[in-house]
A and B are shown apart, each in its own frame.
Chain A
Amino acid sequence: MSRYISFRDFDWVLIGFVLVICGLGVLEIHSATAHTKFAGADRRQLYWIAGGLVGMFLVSLMNYHVLIERVHWMYIVAIASLMVVLIFGQKYLGARRWVKLPGGNHFQPSEWVKLILILAVAKYFADLQQRELSWSDFIKAGAIVGVPMLMVLAQPDLGTALTYLPIAVMGLFIGGVSWKQGLTVALLGGLAVGMVFFTPKVHILKTYQRQRLTSFLQPDADPQGSGYQLTQSLIAVGSGGLWGGKGSQTHGAFLPIPQTDFIFAAFSEEHGFVGALGVLLLYFIVLMRLTQNAQTAPDRAGTFLVMGVVAVLTFHILVNVGMVLGKMPVTGIPLPLMSYGGSSVLFMFLALGMVMNVRMRRFVN
């Protein structure tokens, strides 16, 4: 294991595209929050990005093997931090998701739990040498992801909890799940989701969660309530047209809090189909570049790690953009790299740091 690593091996192309997306995000945050009580969010977002870049470089310096070997400790810390949130967390809008840090900042541990889960799943599947997965592998991988998932669900934060799922799915898929096993699990999962939704006696989902999850099917049913955001988002995107418009939905505050989860709607309104498609293309390039990095990874662990990041990022984009377009339920999942929010930005850059970590070591040993 050589230690000749160089920043020349950093994926500058990837960082370039990522920063372009971040820049568009900052511009849109500026546009959406100017003259509102959120004014200045664009500047704070820049600080988070700068901090994220520093974090990315720091993470890339530590050999990912070292991280993976110590992942069980990190896993324990992650579970502990989720416990802390559940017990001492700040209650905001009916959910305990945030821990108040001494500096006056708030931190959402459920974000960086994602990083640890990526590492943990990578380690689990890297350690498996056989091609065929046994049912116990399923259960173990499921448990690794499932325990923190249930804890986040209890906050309650359904959206973030759901983002843990693709990490496990991706691990299982490239870890060599057989079609038969995959189908069986998918069927069982579908059955479970169906039970949660259609048995009112089961109180796993809170009423507002069920409303948010189902309102996308019928946004007009309750235009002032949970369907309101969705309706306004559809109007914002639709009125953008081919080339974009003045953005009255965003600037008239019809689209609530457009700088976070609905930033893609705000962007689509101002820049139209052409602009929005451009952003999707940028994300697609980033994802393709990431999978390419996964292919050239020096070992199984590296591949799993990068593909974990790909899974989370893809899932976020699918659910967020799908939500904005009315194709997915409103779950409160931010659009990575563009949405305003420190935790989300930090997570993305730390995750990219791990990808860089893997890439820089592709020619070693």
Chain B
Amino acid sequence: MFGRDEKISPIRLTAVQYVILAIFLFLAYGLWRLQVSQSDMYATLAEQNRIRNVPILAPRGKIFDRNGRPIVDNYPSFTALLLRDSSRDLNADAGQIAEGLHLDPKDVRDKIRHFASMPQYRPIYLKEDITPDEEAFIEAHRNELPELDTIMAYRRLYPRKGFLAHLIGYVGEVSEDMLNQPQWEFNNPGDVVGKSGVELQYNQILMGKNGSRQVQVNSHGQEIGAPLDEKPAEPGKPLKLTIDIDLQIAAEEAIEGKNGAIVAMDPHTGEILAMVSRPAFDPNDFAVKVSHAQWAALVNDPDHPLLNKAIQAQLAPGSTFKVLMATAGWQEGIAQTLTVHCNGGAEFYGRRFGCWVKSGHGDVDLTKAIYQSCDVFFYTLANKLGIGRIAKYATDFGLGQKTGIDLPQEVAGVMPSEEWKMRNFRQKWFAGETISVGIGQGAVAITPVQLMRAVAAISMDGRMVVPHVADPTGLPAGYLEVNHLSDVKSIPIDPDGWNLITDAMSRVLLPEGTAPSAHVPGIDIAGKTGSAQVVSLALRAKHANDEALNQNGWFVGFTPRRNPDIVVCVLFEGGEHGKLAARLATQVIKAYVDKQRQQPTKLAGADKTVEIGALWTSPNAENPAEEKLQAGRFVLNVSKKLPPLATAAPGLQ
């Protein structure tokens, strides 16, 4: 059966051998092509496969007040994520995971389904900023739910209840629009940057530089082995503000429950000591992720909680403008001798302009016109000066212009003039309009910080400073953006003039002034009240009960009268009368003075009683020759307990 006679053709077997040889040559050629000819290309592809740059996030710089007390800090925040490259059935575990993380199981399953088509190494971000008990849940279920993991990132911790919110601002992920602007061209998508306030203004300093770690990963994105290369992150630099937390607390408390702004400044340097705007927002809401509903509510709120009214509200200053009018009048040699008789109003250019005191002020000179805020006097002064000269002085003192404060989105406001009207309305200026400008009405629209700066300059012999919130000495050398902050401009004004004006202002809080209720015994405060109508009087009469149309109360004041240490400006929206605004301002000033008096350098602290020796003369106006020198020894009790100073911004202990 298996005979040898029918041998197989050896040619066919040889042919098979050649076929095999051909196959192997074919395979060897393929091998050559890949491993020798195109080896470089594939080596690069392999590198790209396994080398991954993992960013090391740089924490943002902390923000401190002028005494180094923390205002903004960072806190480690954990995000729960679901790893998808494990062999677990995620949908089966979704119920337990949702329960532990206080999520809706349906949302978790939706997310899992949504990610189904993504590469496996991409985890699902389940919940940002998880609470400690949710974190504990994840830790406790490491074995049971190995697909559940956390990732840590530093987030901003802002003070509670919107404390200093407008000045600080907030951070957020850089948007695509921003990346197209030259300012942000070196940022990468996903970077967290400042979006408003000093967070935006000093982003370059606060942000730091992310580092990176080159790691070898496997196809699941898991790191294998030690990092190949590591570039450590450069943490953001700390930022020291000129804000005084104690004063800020006083300002926040003063305006609590009201709308408006308070801003306080050291008139010598331009350092802003306190700045509040109300209503406020809570920047902590932005630190994680602001929801659409929250954002819409903030944007559509008629009280504009996102607006920093200290630098962004453009309103008529009302009678506070009279300080500037007085200065202009004195400089032009008109106010010194001007006296008017006020009987409750006066007629100019065929129209009657009323004084706020219907019965009139009687005979009024410059001093009385200031502390009694007589409108008729300033109508007359405005009429004599003319809009050109008013606008010149107002502009010299920075009204209707940006102050150059180191905060984003400051607005300029409006100081009307003939040119301004022609430029914007193509109309001639009517002399009658000048009369309204004289009492800070009409087209005049300025910001609280402008008003504060102008009045500070008048009280300081014409010294115009640039208001600023960052301490330039604490900033890195070569940071040019703050060079202008220490600029001082001097406007020549007659000392007799500003002495008289500030003396008159100090009587505003005395019984004869417009705001006696704001008087603080023992503190020499000079100031000026103002109330400005938001709409025309006729319109206001129609909506008598509409609070939104109430007059704005203003107050700008400083202490002490000569060479002041602090100037405060208050805008009390809907506050009706300047004296109410004055009460808010004096609360801040009192806090400042109390704090000054508490400092050991100003007072012997250790002993409960101190002895003070004093020499003084008792003047005798009638007979100067009889002036006597007197001496005395006093024992003062200084054991009075003053409230302790803050150690940090609220919510940052």
Contacts and interface: CB of A to CB of B under 8 A. Distances in A.
Interface in B210-245: 216-220, 224
Contact of B35 (A248, A276, A287, A304): A276
Interface string B1-18: 111101111101101110
A272 B36 CA distance: 9
Given A287-B20, A327-B30, A239 B7 contact: no
A256 B43 CA distance: 18
A304 B9 CA distance: 12
B219 A268 contact: no
Given A174-B13, A237-B35, A307-B16, A318 B224 contact: no
A84 interface: no
Contact of A252 (B15, B20, B41, B50): B50
Interface stretch (B21-29, B489-497, B520-528, B551-559): B21-29
Given A238-B35, A294-B13, A300-B7, A249 B49 contact: yes
Contacts of A236: 46
Contacts of A284: 20-21, 24
Contact of A248 (B23, B27, B49): B49
B172 to A, nearest CB: 33
B46 A239 contact: yes
A18 B285 CA distance: 70
Nearest to A294: B13
A276 B19 CA distance: 20
Contact of B27 (A254, A300, A318): A318
Contacts of A248: 46, 49-50, 216
A295 interface: yes
B119 interface: yes
A288 B20 contact: yes
A252 B218 contact: yes
Nearest to A231: B45
Contacts of A332: none
A228 B187 CA distance: 34
Contact of A174 (B1, B9, B41, B42): B9
Given A65-B2, A253-B220, A276-B35, A238 B16 contact: no
Nearest to B30: A325
Interface string A270-299: 001100110010011001100100110011
Contact of A241 (B9, B39, B119, B216): B39
A242 interface: yes
B356 interface: no
B34 interface: yes
B31 interface: yes
Given A234-B34, A273-B32, A299 B43 contact: no
B38 interface: yes
Contacts of A326: 30, 34
B467 to A, nearest CB: 58
A290 to B, nearest CB: 9
A126 B4 CA distance: 10
Contacts of A307: 13, 16
Contacts of B45: 235, 238-239
B8 A170 contact: no
A254 B219 contact: yes
Contact of A239 (B4, B12, B39): B39
A220 B13 CA distance: 40
Contacts of B17: 288, 291
A291 B4 contact: no
A251 B222 CA distance: 12
A300 B2 contact: yes
A291 B35 contact: no
Given A235-B42, A238-B45, A301-B2, A310 B216 contact: no
23 contacts: A232-B49, A236-B46, A237-B35, A239-B42, A248-B50, A251-B218, A251-B224, A254-B50, A280-B31, A283-B24, A284-B21, A291-B16, A294-B13, A295-B13, A298-B2, A300-B2, A303-B13, A304-B8, A318-B23, A318-B27, A321-B30, A322-B30, A327-B30
List 8 tightest A-B contacts by C-beta distance, closest first. Answer: A238-B42, A239-B46, A325-B30, A273-B35, A252-B218, A299-B2, A241-B39, A254-B219
Given A249-B49, A280-B31, A304-B8, 16 more contacts: A176-B9, A176-B12, A241-B43, A245-B46, A252-B217, A252-B218, A252-B224, A254-B49, A272-B35, A276-B35, A280-B27, A284-B21, A299-B3, A307-B13, A310-B20, A318-B23
